[in-house]
Amino acid sequence: MAKNLSIQVSHHRLSGRKRSSLKFLLGLFIAVAMFFPMYAVIICSVKTNGQVLSDPFGIPQPFDLTAFGLVLGKSGEFWGFLYNSVVIAVSTIIIVDLFSMAAGIALSRIPFKGRPLIYNFFIMGMLFPITVAVLPLYLQLRDLGLLGTQGGVILAEAAFGLPMAIFLFTGFFKDVPRELQDACQIDGGGILTFFFKIVIPISKPVVATVSIITFIQSWNQFLFPLLVLDNSSKFTIPLGIMQFQGQFTTGWNQVMAFITISIIPMAAFYFSAQRYIVAGLTAGAVKG
């Protein structure tokens, strides 16, 4: 019996190794296929336009950086888009973090009448898509004089980021042990002391999660800026890509250089914080 089992186990281990190299090969094959579009962009951004047209997926011959020079130089449009994207993303992140942290504290630690009602009111926002509100939102921003301004984009994006952020903050603050609050009160601290000295310092992981989710959403957001911004000097990177592509239908190498440069910030962000991004997005999704 025991002999039998050990044979079975060693057999299992052997086939396990074989299986694992098969798995590696299959994984590699999928990775190559999945990466191919990225490869195409990068490789075409360092070619002449002639070579892009004649041999789009081959190795660059000669290696040519003119497209990058043209995109980065020339009127400095790209830098403007980058600046606008940064301003909008950073402002949105700050508003979402501050507002939802404050609301989360009240909704988790201070019992008051109507609390579940207000909580559900916010959470409801996670159930339906942004697009439902997009036309009236446009009119709302028009009536408030926010059309054509970055403020309009920031406020709209922040408002739609709130439900998930409040959900995450409230959930996190709820789990802070009651004893900590009691101990703080015994030492003479009010509820505000408790927040500033204890809760906020330990809530870094949630702040990181909320900021990551907000950043990715804001950075890639297309519909809000498309509706709100009318002047290309205020455009964000996604709008810039769209516009640039429309202008240079024949200059594919420049379009590819533009996309490559626009991917760099996100790629750098991703590879330096991969673990947190994955953790943040899955936390956001799983909790949603």
Contact between 139 and another protein per CB under 8 A? yes
Least distance between another protein and beta carbon 178 (Å): 17
> Is residue 73 near another protein by the rule CB under 8 A?
no
Tell me if 68 contacts another protein by CB under 8 A.
Answer: no
Residue 12 engages another protein in binding (rule: CB under 8 A): yes
**Among 21-29, 60-68, 73-81, 179-187, which window interacts with another protein (CB under 8 A)?**
21-29
CB of 180 to another protein, least distance (A): 18
Is 281 exposed, middle or buried (CB count within 10 Å of its CB: 0-12, 13-18, 19+)? middle
From CA 74, how far away is CA 254, in angstroms rounded?
12
Stretch that binds another protein, among 61-69, 72-80, 177-185, 265-273 (CB under 8 A): 265-273
Residue 48 near another protein by CB under 8 A: no
**Collapsing DSSP states into helix, strand and coil, what is residue 64?**
coil
Instruction: Give the shortest CB-218-to-another protein separation in angstroms.
Output: 11
Subset of 266-285 contacting another protein (CB under 8 A): 266-267, 270-271, 274, 277-278, 281-282, 285
Residue among 82 and 263 whose Cβ is closer to another protein: 263
Separation of CA 162 from chain center: 14
Residue 192 in tokens: 């505000």
Q: Counting beta carbons within 10 angstroms of the beta carbon of residue 174, is it exposed (0 to 12), middle (13 to 18) or buried (19 or more)?
A: exposed
Minimum CB separation of residue 46 from another protein in Å reads 15
Count, residues near another protein per rule CB under 8 A = 92
Q: Identify the helix (H) or strand (E) that includes residue 2.
A: helix 2-45
Interacting residue with another protein among 43, 176, 237, 257 (CB under 8 A): 237
In this structure, the number of other CB atoms found within 10 A of the CB of residue 109 comes to: 17
Structure tokens at 33: 């296929």
Q: Can you say whether residue 243 is alpha, beta or left, with left for phi > 0 and alpha for psi between -120 and 50 degrees?
A: alpha
Taking alpha carbons only, the member of 208, 118, 199, 109 closest to residue 165 is 208
Q: Which of 238, 251, 254, 257 binds another protein (CB under 8 A)?
A: 238
Return the exposure string of 235-256: e unless at least 16 CB atoms fall within 10 Å of the residue's CB, then b: bbbbbbbeebeeebeebbbbbb
Choose, by CB under 8 A, the member of 1, 2, 192, 233 that binds another protein: 192
Could you say which residues in the range 80-119 bind another protein, by CB under 8 A? Answer: 95, 98-100, 102-103, 105-107, 110, 112, 118
| Length of the chain, in residues | 288
- Which range, of 54-62, 63-71, 172-180, 197-205, touches another protein by CB under 8 A? 54-62
* Residues of this chain, 113-132, that bind another protein according to CB under 8 A: 118, 121-122, 125, 127-132
Q: In the complex, what is the shortest distance from the CB of residue 179 to another protein, in angstroms, rounded to a whole number?
A: 21
The CA-based angle 109-112-115, given to 5 degrees, is 85
| Residue 21 or 75 with smaller CB distance to another protein | 21
Tell me if 59 contacts another protein by CB under 8 A: no
Tokens 């290696």 sit on residue: 63
Q: Which residue has the tokens 């799983």?
A: 286
